[in-house]
Structure 1
């Protein structure tokens, strides 16, 4: 089976489907019809069975915008959001459990976490049935999300979606700062050497 690369571009009420390898062009009403229309065109043009034709859409454009790139970005952000939701749920459960174990009133835990006190009780019960470690979860959260989420647009503009405070990664990195390609990274100052205790004088040693 041979795979052909196709590109798609909106033209009026139609999606124009180009097959560069065959220098051919067909059309589809909707995006979900593109693959089938392209395969049928290729099969007829090359005189091969439809079952032996596969296509790969390498680009989708409309009104000057790359829709395939936008789709990839949206799908990636959705996956990231699911990861964040899972981490938030785990962190909330473990923090609720650790605070109640430290005799912090349930209503105060509710205030800290922004959830109802009934929900705090549920989370504490759930945490009691797991072997979670709130310290580990907090450390993992800081390491994983101690950065800014920035989208660099094709025209050079940067859109900041999320700003997360916390320790930055690679603070000791000596790589130069890239201008205009995202959030700036500052070099951490060199640590000062620890002061050694002053040596005792000869007279002090004799008096000991």
Structure 2
């Protein structure tokens, strides 16, 4: 089942409420770290599917404005890592294959290990 359930979490005294409105599930946990496990099991039981196939989005509405910039920063960092890997692969390939540079020298220029240069060049081949 490709359904992605939204799990709303709210602080209620010393407890956290776990609310899954679309399935009519409401429960609570003492510690926020337990919420994902409890929600996953509740959804799996309700839908009669294996717990490891449950897709859900955990949301703390009150904290969303504070957490949004963190999420955006993490997404930007992930995109930068992909971009860096692509640039390194292209540069390693040009330095070694087209300019005839030794992989060790290319590694120094790129600021990476020689083995990584070898892997990048082989992946480009």
Dislocated runs of 4+, deviation >6 Å: none
SS class of match (1:95): helix
8 Å Cα contact 2:9/2:16 also seen in 1: no
Give, in whole Å, the separation in 2 of the partners of 1:115 and 1:98. 15
Looking at secondary structure, tell me which structure has more helix per residue.
Answer: 2
Counterpart in the other structure of 2:14: 13
State how 1:1-208 maps to structure 2 within 5 Å: 8=10, 10=11, 12-15=13-16, 28-29=28-29, 32=35, 59-60=61-62, 67-100=63-96, 101-128=98-125
Structure 1 vs Structure 2 CA RMSD? 3.2
SS class of match (2:64): helix
Give, in whole Å, the separation in 1 of the partners of 2:68 and 2:114. 40
> What TM-score, normalized by structure 1, do the two folds share?
0.33
User: What is the count of residue pairs matched by the alignment?
Assistant: 85
SS class of match (2:61): strand
8 Å Cα contact 2:92/2:120 also seen in 1: yes
Unaligned runs of 5+ in 2: 1-7, 18-26, 40-58
> Which entry has the higher C-alpha Rg, 1 or 2?
1
CA offsets per residue over residues 112-163 of structure 1, 9 Å max, x none?
A: 11222122122111112xxxxxxxxxxxxxxxxxxxxxxxxxxxxxxxxxxx
Shift of 1:85: 1.3
SS class of match (1:111): helix
